[in-house]
Copies of this chain bind each other. A is one copy, B any other.
Amino acid sequence: MTREREIVDRCEVSCIHEDKVKEVRQRMLEEEAAQSLAQLFKALGDTTRVKLLFALMQQELCVCDLAAVIGLSESAVSHQLRLLRHQKLVRFRREGKVLYYSLADKHVERLFGQGFEHVTE
């Protein structure tokens, strides 16, 4: 047995199902899409932000109220709201000095709904 043959043999010793891998790879989602999706879920994947969104599911609230509801500094809340804003999960309207935040659309509620179902089953 030559040295080359040995190497080839070693490479073939693998559990990969080439056909499956090829097929799945072709229908795989783009790197960018995967990242966007991950970022969306990442935005939902934090206890503080879950609480913020849950509170906003009930009614629109200002930063100050949100801070009081979840028991965190207004600064911390503001930072997190920015993140949620960038993911278009919340929006806000200004009334004088006060900014009232609310959920951006129905997607968030549905995502939460699905999440709840999964967690509480």
A residues near B (Cβ < 8 Å) are 14-17, 20-21, 23-25, 27-29, 31, 33-47, 49-51, 54-55, 58-59, 61-62, 64-65, 68-70, 88, 97-98, 105, 107-108, 110-112, 114-120
Q: What residues of B have a CB within 8 angstroms of the CB of A37 in the complex?
A: 44, 50, 112, 115-116, 119
Q: With A24-B55, A28-B55, A34-B50 known to touch, is A40 a contact of B119 (CB < 8 Å)?
A: yes
Bound: A35/B66 CA distance, A:
18
**Could you tell me if B47 and A45 are in contact, using CB atoms closer than 8 angstroms?**
no
What secondary structure prevails in chain A residues at the interface with B? helix
| A64-B24 Cα distance, complex, nearest whole Å | 13
The answer to whether B14 touches A64 (Cβ under 8 A) is yes
| B62 and A15 form a contact (CB under 8 A) | yes
Contact in complex: B38, A46 (CB < 8 Å): yes
Q: Which residues on B sit within 8 Å (CB–CB) of A25?
A: 69
